[in-house]
Amino acid sequence: MTRVTIALTLAGLIVLFVAYAKGVGVIHGGNVLSHMYWATGALTLVALANFIAVAHLARAERMIQELRALCEKNGIEYGED
């Protein structure tokens, strides 16, 4: 999951750079619609990466809670940071 999040974030960053270049082109008479497509793609990729990161975090939190419960059940001490 972490690799997917990083890959989507990097892809979103690359698409954002293309959207920026298209936006600069719009200033000089370029195609506005092309810029909007690239900008929408960048926003979508970054939003998807953030969603996956939050889902991954929620899963990790559940796993930590289960581990703590098992440690308490078996009398094993665990560290608190």
Q: Report pLDDT digits (tens) over 31-76.
A: 889 888 989 988 998 888 888 888 888 888 888 889 889 988 988 8
pTM of the model: 0.65
Q: What is the DSSP letter of 75?
A: T
6-32 pLDDT, tens digit each = 888 888 889 888 988 888 888 888 888
Cα distance between residue 2 and residue 18, in whole Å? 24
When pLDDT is cut at 50, 70 and 90, the band that residue 80 belongs to is low
SS (H, E, C) 15-74: HHHHHHHHHHHHHCCCCHHHHHHHHHHHHHHHHHHHHHHHHHHHHHHHHHHHHHHHHHHC
Of how many residues is the chain composed? 81
Looking at residue 25, its pLDDT comes to 87
Backbone angles phi, psi at 2, to 5 degrees: -65, -40
